[in-house]
Chains A and B, each alone.
Chain A
Amino acid sequence: MKVSATGQTGGGAVAAPADDAEFVRRVYLDLVGRIPAATEAARFLDDAAADKRARLVDALLASDEYATYWANVYADLLLGQAQPQGLGRRLRAGTVTWLEEQLGEGRPYDAMIADVLTASGDYSDGGPASYLLVRGRGKQVEAVAGATARIVLGVQIDCAQCHDHPYYDQYKQEDFYAFAAYFGRTQARRLPGGGEPGVRIVERPRGELRMPTSDGGKGEVVRPRFLGREVAPDDGETRREALVRAIRGSDLLAKAAANRSWSMLLGRGLVEPWDDLVGENDPSHPPALERLAADFVASGYDHRALLRSIVLSDAYQRSASGADDRGAAARVFARAAVRPLSARQLFDSMVEATGVADSDRAAYRRRLVDRRDAALREYSFVFADDEMAEAESFSGNVPQALLLLNGDLSNVGVRERAGGTVTAAIDRAEAEGIDAGIAALYLSAYARRPDADELAQARAFIEAQPGDTRAYEDLLYALLLSSEFTTNH
């Protein structure tokens, strides 16, 4: 279903604009991958300037956290979401470091993609070359080709691997193998030499890909061709370099990036799913996507500018409040989608909301850092057990609920201890009254202040256990278990 972000709303109402509290939480989660700290939220809420949203967006995009968060998002996209162990983990780490540098220095998106696809030689920490190794595991040219078409071009040609495309006559099985032939001379291996996580990419001077026959035998040699278009390597150009030339000349490169980013930030693509753009110059692509993609190209493939224009759009800045009218509202982006937090967003938001990272007990901080990888793996396992799962298809499960209910981070995190969120709230309550303590907890967990009803409910709970500060722990625990905390909305 192809729809315009700003098109007809089918007669249904469009939600009110998101208020500042909705906006600040949403934009922190989307741009830097965590909720705002209580102080950050308060500063934004209390800022009276008219341009404060644009200024916040610029500040977040300029932060190191933006580069780190999006490096991880792109590493998940390129290498799959599973959190590998051992060598795979170090390879992923090298890729994240490389992506962080690229994003941090504002490297154009098309140049980053070119580096990933034309990697050649030895990479001692994987870097951009991990993609060819990880996606091509088992020396499967078909797997790299399918992933590249989907991720870089937003086209699912991999279903044409075994048969002609089921519902578009655009791509035949031969087109898939012709696309795969660009990788037909590429060999990706681990660097020899023990535990080093390096990658060696070798482009052989010859070798041909053959399209298997219907009984799985060796078939005809297939020459490289780009989605039905002739793009042969020029003199001195490798096949992968020719592929990158074709990709850079295709409208799908910018459209796929724009549609994917839109989908990540609004819960749904302008074309849905984001990686089903079907073909080049498709007249049915909605004007909003055409425009977003054209602006992205005009900006010199500036990733920050792409995100900036999305999060400052009207569609992004709508409230999540409203009835569950499913189809209609989702199609026209009439209100903000409620999206479960990813494993990474949830973990980092728990750390932020509980203040465990700010604890003045050094041993505690050390333990958190040491255990971060292990904890994140557990979060990733229960939150994204299917490595290919997109966030939108994941909506929670019992292991996730058990982790939130009984896991270390939720329980240790809410304990009263120096430097933690609960202790700060108790201090506020003692100095300024119970309501101030409750407000501090709401600000830490929800990035907003409680309304009168919420205050009254929480006050009744705390007053029912006079002199027992554990009531504040219980309140923060309940906040962290709630949908308002575990979703982006």
Chain B
Amino acid sequence: MTTIHRRTFLRLGLGAIAAALADPRRAAASQGPVRSCVLLFMHGGASQIDTWDPKPGRETGGGLKAIRTALPGVRVSEHLPRLARRLRDVAVIRSLTSREGNHDRARYLMHTGYPPQGGALHPSLGSLVAASRERGTLPSYVSIAGPGQGAGLLGAAHAPFVVGDPTKPIRNLTPALGVDDARLARRVELWRGLEDRFAARVASPTVTGHRQVVDQALTMMSSPALEAFALEREAAADRERYGASAFGQGCLLARRLVEVGVPFVEVALKGWDTHEDNFPRVARLGAELDAGMSALLDDLHDRGLLESTLVICIGDFGRTPTINAKGGRDHFPKISAAALAGAGIRGGQVIGATDRDGREISERPVTVPDLFRTVATLVGLDPDETRESATGRPVATVDGGALVDELLA
């Protein structure tokens, strides 16, 4: 299928297109209601007050305006005008709370649902989803513009495939000069013999994992779905809609990966650690989030994919209501905001509230385990299933928590 044809088809919005382009191996697999999940990760910790929970007219609001949204009586920061218009599809949580205020610890928590503890290697949500789905020809967990989080006890086969810059081609995808298919096949055959021999002598998850990732890499090299990485196939206007930033283009790539059936895509928006000069930085970051996420929601919706794709926007933690002497906001795990849309989510609502200065949660606190239990349930994982860690300790999918019923459609 040529590019023009495909684009025409997509414009027509034919539902069959996604299936036609999809990875054949994955299309055959049985799918629950949530086929894919896109995690938009606000790396560094986004200011909840300057995004989803504005405090206009209060000292803690920093002089930002709050704008009307598609929901009567609900306002968001002036930096999110496009998302404001799409709020009927989005559930906003204004009362997410945690206790981890150190970046590394918080990122671990917000990717795995567990605080780091005693060397236990909790798998990230992305790796859990990847491990629960039939593997296609592309990696099942792709992390764009940020490192994502590892598979922990699930093993290397479910680790994220990291794409640093979504606009650049994936490196090392083609065999070296002078290595044709027949020769590569001969080399791989030899390698398999060596691998069998070593694995028979030295049993180890590291050895098993190495074989799995090399096999995955070989499968990926000849995948027809690689086409999804070619953002240049998109019309210029479509690329611009997402924003020129790594995050915006990452959201576009996320859409294309969802179209071919990749089960979990993470896109990082870096730079939210605004200890200084919060306001100009939040203006830029907010605009990137607004463009990327709203274009993603629109395109998924137009392709009939929003009902099978769960979109989650969270970050390290929230930021202090108090504005410091350098015009910055510091780490504030006590309150942060989350936004969810798509498969299984009842959009058009705000869950939880903070007091008028945003210093305390005044209504319906939601813990990170609450959120992870809800998301795990939505994506078809058993929240209470346990897996054995390397030390023999059982680790459940989710660290307790209670279902956030209101979120569910």
Q: Judging by beta carbons under 8 Å apart, are A402 and B172 in contact?
A: yes
Q: Is B406 an interface residue (CB 8 A)?
A: no
Q: Is A249 an interface residue (CB 8 A)?
A: no
Residues of B within 8 A of A139 (CB): 275
Residue pairs across A and B with CB atoms within 8 Å: the count is 210
Choose the segment among A123-131, A210-218, A240-248, A308-316 that binds chain B (4+ C-beta atoms closer than 8 Å): A210-218
Q: Judging by beta carbons under 8 Å apart, are B210 and A486 in contact?
A: yes
Our pick among A142, A324, A381, A470 for the contact of B205 (Cβ within 8 Å) is A324
Q: Is A113 an interface residue (CB 8 A)?
A: no
> From residue B212, how far is it (CB to closest CB) to chain A in Å?
8
Among B160, B187, B321, the one with the most A-chain Cβ atoms within 10 Å of its Cβ is: B187
Residues of B within 8 A of A402 (CB): 170-173, 217, 220-221
> From residue B282, how far is it (CB to closest CB) to chain A in Å?
16
Q: Is B16 an interface residue (CB 8 A)?
A: no
Q: Is A400 an interface residue (CB 8 A)?
A: yes
> From residue A416, how far is it (CB to closest CB) to chain B in Å?
11
Q: Judging by beta carbons under 8 Å apart, are A481 and B191 in contact?
A: yes
Our pick among B119, B207, B331 for the contact of A276 (Cβ within 8 Å) is B119
Instruction: Tell whether A397 pairs with B202 under 8 Å between CB atoms, given A158-B105, A386-B150, A474-B190.
Output: no
Q: Judging by beta carbons under 8 Å apart, are B217 and A401 in contact?
A: yes
> From residue B294, how far is it (CB to closest CB) to chain A in Å?
29
Q: Give the contacts of A436-468 with B (CB-CB under 8 A).
A: 453-454, 457, 461
Q: Is B159 an interface residue (CB 8 A)?
A: yes
Minimum CB distance partner of A324 in chain B? B203
Q: Is B400 an interface residue (CB 8 A)?
A: no
Q: Judging by beta carbons under 8 Å apart, are B172 and A407 in contact?
A: yes
> From residue A219, how far is it (CB to closest CB) to chain B in Å?
11
Residues of B within 8 A of A482 (CB): 191, 194-195, 198
What is the bound-complex CA distance between A134 and B221, given in angstroms? Answer: 38
> From residue B37, how far is it (CB to closest CB) to chain A in Å?
19
Binary interface profile of A, 148-183, with partner B (CB < 8 Å = 1, else 0)?
000000000011011100110000000000000000
Q: Is B139 an interface residue (CB 8 A)?
A: yes
Among B179, B204, B320, B391, the one with the most A-chain Cβ atoms within 10 Å of its Cβ is: B204
Instruction: Tell whether A393 pairs with B152 under 8 Å between CB atoms, given A322-B203, A324-B204, A399-B161.
Output: yes
> From residue A317, how far is it (CB to closest CB) to chain B in Å?
16
Q: Is B322 an interface residue (CB 8 A)?
A: yes
Among B187, B194, B211, the one with the most A-chain Cβ atoms within 10 Å of its Cβ is: B194
Residues of A within 8 A of B119 (CB): 272-273, 276
Q: Is A489 an interface residue (CB 8 A)?
A: yes
Q: Give the contacts of A410-426 with B (CB-CB under 8 A).
A: 411-412
Minimum CB distance partner of B116 in chain A? A159
Choose the segment among B78-86, B95-103, B256-264, B363-371 that binds chain A (4+ C-beta atoms closer than 8 Å): B95-103
Q: Judging by beta carbons under 8 Å apart, are A212 and B330 in contact?
A: yes
Residues of A within 8 A of B121 (CB): 393
Binary interface profile of A, 312-346, with partner B (CB < 8 Å = 1, else 0)?
00000000111110111011000001111000000
Q: Judging by beta carbons under 8 Å apart, are B210 and A161 in contact?
A: no
Q: Is A140 an interface residue (CB 8 A)?
A: yes
Q: Judging by beta carbons under 8 Å apart, are B217 and A398 in contact?
A: yes
Residues of A within 8 A of B331 (CB): 162, 216
Q: Is A146 an interface residue (CB 8 A)?
A: yes
> From residue A398, how far is it (CB to closest CB) to chain B in Å?
5
Q: Judging by beta carbons under 8 Å apart, are B156 and A478 in contact?
A: no
Our pick among B105, B198, B203, B206 for the contact of A340 (Cβ within 8 Å) is B206
Minimum CB distance partner of A386 in chain B? B147
Q: Is B34 an interface residue (CB 8 A)?
A: no
Q: Judging by beta carbons under 8 Å apart, are B214 and A481 in contact?
A: yes
Residues of A within 8 A of B101 (CB): 161-163
Residues of A within 8 A of B195 (CB): 482-483
Minimum CB distance partner of B193 in chain A? A457
Our pick among A330, A394, A397 for the contact of B391 (Cβ within 8 Å) is A330
Minimum CB distance partner of B391 in chain A? A327
Residues of A within 8 A of B248 (CB): none
Instruction: Tell whether A398 pairs with B220 under 8 Å between CB atoms, given A162-B100, A478-B194, A482-B198.
Output: yes
Q: Is A479 an interface residue (CB 8 A)?
A: yes
Q: Is B3 an interface residue (CB 8 A)?
A: no
What is the bound-complex CA distance between A487 and B275, given in angstroms? Answer: 41
Q: Judging by beta carbons under 8 Å apart, are A474 and B183 in contact?
A: yes
Instruction: Tell whether A406 pairs with B100 under 8 Å between CB atoms, given A215-B321, A393-B121.
Output: no
What is the bound-complex CA distance between A217 and B322, given in angstroms? Answer: 6
Q: Judging by beta carbons under 8 Å apart, are B176 and A412 in contact?
A: yes
> From residue B41, how far is it (CB to closest CB) to chain A in Å?
13
Q: Give the contacts of A208-245 with B (CB-CB under 8 A).
A: 212, 214-218
Minimum CB distance partner of A325 in chain B? B203
Q: Judging by beta carbons under 8 Å apart, are A398 and B206 in contact?
A: no
Q: List 7 additional contacts besides A378-B171, A405-B221; criterion CB under 8 Å.
A: A217-B322, A397-B156, A405-B218, A407-B172, A477-B187, A479-B194, A483-B207
Q: Can you list 30 pairs linking A and B with CB atoms under 8 Å apart?
A: A138-B273, A159-B102, A161-B102, A212-B330, A215-B320, A215-B322, A216-B322, A218-B322, A272-B119, A272-B391, A273-B119, A324-B204, A330-B391, A331-B391, A338-B206, A395-B156, A395-B205, A395-B209, A396-B156, A397-B162, A399-B171, A399-B172, A402-B171, A405-B214, A405-B217, A411-B179, A482-B191, A483-B211, A484-B198, A487-B207
Residues of B within 8 A of A (CB): 99-102, 104-105, 115-119, 121, 139, 147, 149-150, 152, 155-156, 159-162, 164, 170-177, 179, 183, 186-188, 190-191, 193-195, 197-199, 201-211, 213-214, 216-218, 220-221, 273, 275-276, 319-322, 329-334, 359-360, 388, 390-392
Q: Which 5 A-B pairs have CB atoms at the shortest separation, nearest pair first?
A: A216-B320, A162-B101, A327-B392, A411-B176, A401-B217
